[in-house]
Amino acid sequence: MPRPRLFVTRKLPPDVEARLDRDYEATLNPVDGLPTRETILEGADGKDALLVTVTDRIDAGLIGALPDSVKIIATFSVGYDHIDLVAAKARGVTVANTPDVLTDATAEIAMLLMLGAARQATSAIATLRSGQWKNWAPTGMLGMELTGKRLGILGLGRIGRATAKRARAFGMEVHYHNRRRLVAEMEEGATYHPDVESLFRISDVLSLHCASTPETRRIVNRDTIRLLPEKAIVVNTARGDIVDDEALIEALASGRLAAAGLDVFANEPNLHPAYLGLPNAFLLPHLGSATRETRNAMGFRALDNLDDFFAGRPPRDALNT
Protein backbone atom coordinates (compact mmCIF):
# COMPACT_ATOMS: atom_id res chain seq x y z
CA MET A 1 0.00 0.00 0.00
CA PRO A 2 1.54 3.38 -0.97
CA ARG A 3 2.41 5.76 1.83
CA PRO A 4 0.42 9.02 2.06
CA ARG A 5 2.03 11.93 0.24
CA LEU A 6 2.73 14.93 2.44
CA PHE A 7 4.09 18.45 1.91
CA VAL A 8 5.84 20.01 4.94
CA THR A 9 6.17 23.79 4.82
CA ARG A 10 8.93 24.33 7.43
CA LYS A 11 11.95 22.45 8.70
CA LEU A 12 10.92 20.41 11.75
CA PRO A 13 12.96 18.84 14.61
CA PRO A 14 15.12 15.87 13.52
CA ASP A 15 13.10 13.27 15.46
CA VAL A 16 9.88 14.50 13.86
CA GLU A 17 11.38 14.43 10.37
CA ALA A 18 12.71 10.92 11.00
CA ARG A 19 9.17 9.72 11.73
CA LEU A 20 7.91 11.56 8.66
CA ASP A 21 10.47 9.81 6.48
CA ARG A 22 9.54 6.47 8.00
CA ASP A 23 5.77 6.68 7.63
CA TYR A 24 5.10 9.10 4.76
CA GLU A 25 6.24 10.06 1.33
CA ALA A 26 7.15 13.48 2.65
CA THR A 27 8.52 16.52 0.86
CA LEU A 28 10.49 18.38 3.52
CA ASN A 29 11.86 21.92 3.75
CA PRO A 30 15.60 21.28 4.30
CA VAL A 31 16.71 24.93 4.51
CA ASP A 32 13.67 26.26 6.40
CA GLY A 33 12.97 29.01 3.94
CA LEU A 34 9.64 30.72 4.55
CA PRO A 35 7.26 29.36 1.93
CA THR A 36 5.23 31.72 -0.20
CA ARG A 37 1.66 31.17 -1.29
CA GLU A 38 3.01 29.97 -4.63
CA THR A 39 5.46 27.48 -3.11
CA ILE A 40 2.74 26.04 -0.85
CA LEU A 41 0.46 25.48 -3.83
CA GLU A 42 3.33 24.04 -5.85
CA GLY A 43 4.29 21.75 -2.98
CA ALA A 44 0.68 20.64 -2.52
CA ASP A 45 0.46 19.40 -6.09
CA GLY A 46 -0.19 15.66 -6.02
CA LYS A 47 -0.13 15.51 -2.21
CA ASP A 48 -2.67 14.03 0.17
CA ALA A 49 -1.92 16.34 3.11
CA LEU A 50 -0.18 19.50 4.25
CA LEU A 51 1.79 19.94 7.47
CA VAL A 52 1.92 23.70 8.09
CA THR A 53 2.89 26.10 10.89
CA VAL A 54 1.67 29.43 12.29
CA THR A 55 3.83 31.28 9.77
CA ASP A 56 1.74 29.95 6.87
CA ARG A 57 -1.39 31.91 5.95
CA ILE A 58 -3.85 29.28 4.79
CA ASP A 59 -6.72 31.54 3.81
CA ALA A 60 -9.86 30.87 1.81
CA GLY A 61 -8.18 31.75 -1.47
CA LEU A 62 -5.31 29.34 -0.93
CA ILE A 63 -7.65 26.57 0.25
CA GLY A 64 -9.82 27.09 -2.79
CA ALA A 65 -6.76 26.69 -5.02
CA LEU A 66 -5.53 23.45 -3.41
CA PRO A 67 -5.64 20.32 -5.53
CA ASP A 68 -8.50 17.95 -4.83
CA SER A 69 -6.00 15.37 -3.58
CA VAL A 70 -5.36 17.34 -0.34
CA LYS A 71 -7.77 16.07 2.30
CA ILE A 72 -6.19 17.16 5.57
CA ILE A 73 -4.13 20.08 6.87
CA ALA A 74 -2.24 19.42 10.10
CA THR A 75 -0.83 22.51 11.79
CA PHE A 76 2.27 22.39 13.97
CA SER A 77 0.66 24.72 16.53
CA VAL A 78 -2.07 25.08 19.09
CA GLY A 79 -3.36 28.29 17.49
CA TYR A 80 -5.23 27.97 14.22
CA ASP A 81 -6.26 31.53 13.36
CA HIS A 82 -3.89 31.32 10.36
CA ILE A 83 -6.23 28.76 8.74
CA ASP A 84 -9.71 29.48 7.42
CA LEU A 85 -11.63 26.60 9.01
CA VAL A 86 -14.89 27.46 7.26
CA ALA A 87 -13.28 27.41 3.82
CA ALA A 88 -11.52 24.15 4.64
CA LYS A 89 -14.75 22.50 5.75
CA ALA A 90 -16.50 23.68 2.60
CA ARG A 91 -13.80 21.96 0.55
CA GLY A 92 -14.03 18.80 2.66
CA VAL A 93 -10.54 19.35 4.08
CA THR A 94 -9.99 18.33 7.72
CA VAL A 95 -7.86 20.62 9.90
CA ALA A 96 -6.13 19.47 13.09
CA ASN A 97 -3.91 21.28 15.60
CA THR A 98 -1.61 20.27 18.50
CA PRO A 99 -3.17 21.21 21.86
CA ASP A 100 -1.99 20.18 25.34
CA VAL A 101 1.70 19.76 24.50
CA LEU A 102 3.10 23.27 25.02
CA THR A 103 1.38 24.24 28.26
CA ASP A 104 4.35 24.06 30.60
CA ALA A 105 6.84 25.61 28.19
CA THR A 106 4.61 28.61 27.55
CA ALA A 107 3.79 29.07 31.23
CA GLU A 108 7.52 29.14 31.96
CA ILE A 109 7.98 31.89 29.36
CA ALA A 110 5.09 33.84 30.92
CA MET A 111 6.92 33.79 34.25
CA LEU A 112 10.19 34.79 32.57
CA LEU A 113 8.38 37.76 30.99
CA MET A 114 6.85 38.76 34.33
CA LEU A 115 10.21 38.64 36.07
CA GLY A 116 12.07 40.33 33.23
CA ALA A 117 9.54 43.14 33.06
CA ALA A 118 9.16 43.57 36.81
CA ARG A 119 12.92 43.68 37.48
CA GLN A 120 13.81 45.97 34.55
CA ALA A 121 15.89 43.30 32.87
CA THR A 122 16.08 45.05 29.49
CA SER A 123 17.70 48.23 30.82
CA ALA A 124 19.80 46.30 33.35
CA ILE A 125 21.26 44.00 30.71
CA ALA A 126 21.92 46.94 28.39
CA THR A 127 23.72 48.80 31.18
CA LEU A 128 25.88 45.78 31.92
CA ARG A 129 26.75 44.92 28.32
CA SER A 130 27.56 48.51 27.39
CA GLY A 131 30.05 48.88 30.24
CA GLN A 132 28.00 51.59 31.95
CA TRP A 133 27.51 49.65 35.19
CA LYS A 134 29.97 51.20 37.63
CA ASN A 135 28.87 49.98 41.05
CA TRP A 136 26.02 48.72 43.16
CA ALA A 137 23.78 51.59 44.23
CA PRO A 138 21.06 51.68 46.90
CA THR A 139 18.66 53.34 44.48
CA GLY A 140 19.94 51.81 41.26
CA MET A 141 17.72 49.89 38.81
CA LEU A 142 14.85 49.42 41.23
CA GLY A 143 12.12 47.10 39.99
CA MET A 144 8.97 45.59 41.42
CA GLU A 145 8.59 42.43 43.49
CA LEU A 146 5.98 39.93 42.33
CA THR A 147 5.34 38.69 45.86
CA GLY A 148 1.95 39.88 47.07
CA LYS A 149 0.93 41.34 43.71
CA ARG A 150 -2.41 40.64 42.06
CA LEU A 151 -2.05 38.64 38.86
CA GLY A 152 -4.94 39.04 36.43
CA ILE A 153 -5.18 36.22 33.90
CA LEU A 154 -7.29 36.81 30.83
CA GLY A 155 -8.17 33.27 29.76
CA LEU A 156 -7.72 30.62 32.47
CA GLY A 157 -7.33 27.69 30.09
CA ARG A 158 -4.54 25.12 30.22
CA ILE A 159 -1.71 27.64 29.85
CA GLY A 160 -3.41 30.18 32.08
CA ARG A 161 -3.83 27.60 34.85
CA ALA A 162 -0.22 26.46 34.52
CA THR A 163 0.90 30.09 34.79
CA ALA A 164 -1.32 30.60 37.84
CA LYS A 165 0.26 27.57 39.52
CA ARG A 166 3.73 29.02 39.04
CA ALA A 167 2.63 32.49 40.09
CA ARG A 168 1.27 31.17 43.37
CA ALA A 169 4.75 29.84 44.14
CA PHE A 170 5.92 33.47 43.88
CA GLY A 171 3.27 34.53 46.38
CA MET A 172 0.98 36.19 43.85
CA GLU A 173 -2.78 36.51 44.28
CA VAL A 174 -4.54 35.05 41.23
CA HIS A 175 -7.60 36.58 39.54
CA TYR A 176 -9.11 35.67 36.17
CA HIS A 177 -11.78 36.28 33.57
CA ASN A 178 -13.22 33.65 31.22
CA ARG A 179 -16.36 33.63 29.16
CA ARG A 180 -17.61 31.09 31.69
CA ARG A 181 -16.55 30.54 35.28
CA LEU A 182 -14.56 27.39 35.95
CA VAL A 183 -15.46 24.79 38.55
CA ALA A 184 -13.79 25.29 41.92
CA GLU A 185 -11.33 22.44 41.39
CA MET A 186 -9.95 24.16 38.29
CA GLU A 187 -9.93 27.63 39.87
CA GLU A 188 -7.71 26.43 42.71
CA GLY A 189 -8.61 29.50 44.74
CA ALA A 190 -8.41 32.05 41.92
CA THR A 191 -10.94 34.88 42.08
CA TYR A 192 -13.36 35.02 39.14
CA HIS A 193 -14.29 38.33 37.50
CA PRO A 194 -17.44 38.31 35.36
CA ASP A 195 -16.17 41.02 33.02
CA VAL A 196 -12.89 42.28 31.60
CA GLU A 197 -13.24 45.71 33.22
CA SER A 198 -13.36 44.24 36.71
CA LEU A 199 -10.30 42.09 36.05
CA PHE A 200 -8.24 44.92 34.60
CA ARG A 201 -8.95 47.23 37.56
CA ILE A 202 -7.21 44.92 40.04
CA SER A 203 -4.40 43.56 37.84
CA ASP A 204 -1.01 44.68 39.09
CA VAL A 205 0.23 42.22 36.47
CA LEU A 206 -2.03 41.35 33.54
CA SER A 207 -1.15 38.13 31.72
CA LEU A 208 -2.86 37.39 28.41
CA HIS A 209 -3.75 33.78 27.64
CA CYS A 210 -6.89 34.09 25.51
CA ALA A 211 -7.36 33.06 21.91
CA SER A 212 -7.34 35.65 19.14
CA THR A 213 -10.99 36.18 18.20
CA PRO A 214 -13.02 39.15 16.94
CA GLU A 215 -13.96 39.78 20.59
CA THR A 216 -10.40 39.72 21.96
CA ARG A 217 -8.43 41.46 19.20
CA ARG A 218 -7.02 44.73 20.59
CA ILE A 219 -8.76 44.11 23.88
CA VAL A 220 -5.74 45.77 25.47
CA ASN A 221 -6.28 49.31 24.17
CA ARG A 222 -6.27 52.90 25.41
CA ASP A 223 -9.58 52.50 27.20
CA THR A 224 -8.75 49.24 28.96
CA ILE A 225 -5.19 50.29 29.82
CA ARG A 226 -6.70 53.23 31.74
CA LEU A 227 -8.46 50.67 33.94
CA LEU A 228 -5.21 49.04 35.05
CA PRO A 229 -3.59 50.18 38.29
CA GLU A 230 -0.85 52.78 37.94
CA LYS A 231 2.51 51.16 37.13
CA ALA A 232 0.92 47.82 36.18
CA ILE A 233 2.72 45.28 33.99
CA VAL A 234 1.29 43.67 30.85
CA VAL A 235 2.49 40.22 29.73
CA ASN A 236 1.52 38.58 26.43
CA THR A 237 2.26 35.00 25.42
CA ALA A 238 -1.00 34.53 23.49
CA ARG A 239 -1.32 36.40 20.19
CA GLY A 240 0.09 39.77 19.18
CA ASP A 241 -3.17 41.19 17.85
CA ILE A 242 -4.77 41.03 21.29
CA VAL A 243 -2.81 44.21 22.02
CA ASP A 244 -3.21 47.62 20.39
CA ASP A 245 0.49 48.36 19.85
CA GLU A 246 0.13 52.13 19.66
CA ALA A 247 -1.79 52.24 22.93
CA LEU A 248 0.64 49.97 24.79
CA ILE A 249 3.71 51.81 23.49
CA GLU A 250 2.16 55.14 24.52
CA ALA A 251 1.47 53.83 28.04
CA LEU A 252 5.01 52.45 28.40
CA ALA A 253 6.66 55.59 27.08
CA SER A 254 4.64 57.85 29.38
CA GLY A 255 5.26 55.71 32.47
CA ARG A 256 1.54 54.98 32.91
CA LEU A 257 2.56 51.32 32.83
CA ALA A 258 5.71 50.19 34.57
CA ALA A 259 6.68 47.60 31.98
CA ALA A 260 5.56 44.97 29.51
CA GLY A 261 6.82 41.47 28.77
CA LEU A 262 6.00 40.38 25.23
CA ASP A 263 6.70 37.11 23.44
CA VAL A 264 4.25 37.63 20.56
CA PHE A 265 3.57 40.55 18.24
CA ALA A 266 1.16 41.65 15.56
CA ASN A 267 2.66 41.07 12.10
CA GLU A 268 5.63 39.24 13.58
CA PRO A 269 8.50 39.14 12.90
CA ASN A 270 7.84 42.74 11.84
CA LEU A 271 7.02 44.03 15.29
CA HIS A 272 6.27 47.70 15.85
CA PRO A 273 9.74 49.34 15.84
CA ALA A 274 8.94 51.63 18.76
CA TYR A 275 9.08 48.65 21.14
CA LEU A 276 12.80 48.32 20.46
CA GLY A 277 13.58 51.72 21.92
CA LEU A 278 11.64 51.23 25.16
CA PRO A 279 13.83 50.27 28.16
CA ASN A 280 10.75 49.00 30.01
CA ALA A 281 9.74 46.56 27.25
CA PHE A 282 11.15 43.07 27.87
CA LEU A 283 10.90 41.35 24.49
CA LEU A 284 11.35 37.76 23.30
CA PRO A 285 11.07 36.38 19.73
CA HIS A 286 8.07 34.03 20.16
CA LEU A 287 9.85 31.49 22.38
CA GLY A 288 6.75 30.16 24.15
CA SER A 289 7.04 26.61 22.84
CA ALA A 290 10.77 26.71 22.11
CA THR A 291 12.07 23.71 24.01
CA ARG A 292 13.28 20.49 22.43
CA GLU A 293 10.74 18.51 24.41
CA THR A 294 7.80 20.67 23.38
CA ARG A 295 8.67 21.03 19.71
CA ASN A 296 9.07 17.24 19.42
CA ALA A 297 5.74 16.77 21.19
CA MET A 298 4.06 19.21 18.82
CA GLY A 299 5.40 17.35 15.80
CA PHE A 300 4.40 13.96 17.15
CA ARG A 301 0.90 15.22 17.97
CA ALA A 302 0.52 16.53 14.42
CA LEU A 303 1.67 13.17 13.06
CA ASP A 304 -0.70 11.31 15.38
CA ASN A 305 -3.55 13.28 13.79
CA LEU A 306 -2.32 12.43 10.31
CA ASP A 307 -1.90 8.76 11.28
CA ASP A 308 -5.49 8.66 12.51
CA PHE A 309 -6.83 10.31 9.38
CA PHE A 310 -5.08 7.96 6.96
CA ALA A 311 -6.07 4.96 9.06
CA GLY A 312 -9.71 5.95 8.65
CA ARG A 313 -10.14 7.24 12.19
CA PRO A 314 -11.26 10.76 13.19
CA PRO A 315 -8.16 12.75 14.13
CA ARG A 316 -8.00 13.37 17.85
CA ASP A 317 -7.59 17.11 17.38
CA ALA A 318 -9.80 17.75 14.36
CA LEU A 319 -11.11 21.32 14.43
CA ASN A 320 -13.71 21.53 11.69
CA THR A 321 -15.49 18.18 11.48
DSSP for residue 200: H
Residue 275 contacts residue 281 (beta carbons within 8 Å):
yes
DSSP readout, 55-124? Answer: TS-B-HHHHHHS-TT--EEEESSS--TTB-HHHHHHTT-EEE--TTSSHHHHHHHHHHHHHHHHTTHHHH
97: nearest Cα among 312, 315, 287, 302? 302
Q: CA 136 → CA 117, 123, 133, 140, 279, distances in Å? A: 20, 15, 8, 7, 19
What are the respective helix, strand and coil percentages of the chain, to the nearest 5? Answer: 35, 15, 45
Q: How far apart are CA 252 and CA 247, in angstroms?
A: 9
Catalytic residue numbers read 239, 268, 286
Task: List phi, psi (to 5°) of 72.
Answer: -150, 140
- Please give the sequence-ordered ranges of beta strands (E in DSSP) within the chain, or none if there are none: 5-8, 25-27, 49-52, 72-75, 94-96, 150-154, 173-177, 191-192, 205-208, 232-236, 257-262, 281-283
Rounded to whole angstroms, the Cα distance separating 97 from 189 reads 31
Collapse the DSSP code of 260 into the 3-class scheme (helix H, G, I; strand E, B; otherwise coil) and give the result. strand
Distant-in-sequence, close-in-space partners of 114: CB < 8 Å, separation ≥ 6: 146, 167, 205, 207, 233, 235, 261
Burial class (CB in 10 A: 0-12, 13-18, 19+), 66: buried
Rounded to an integer, what distance in angstroms lies between the CA atom of residue 152 and that of residue 190? 10
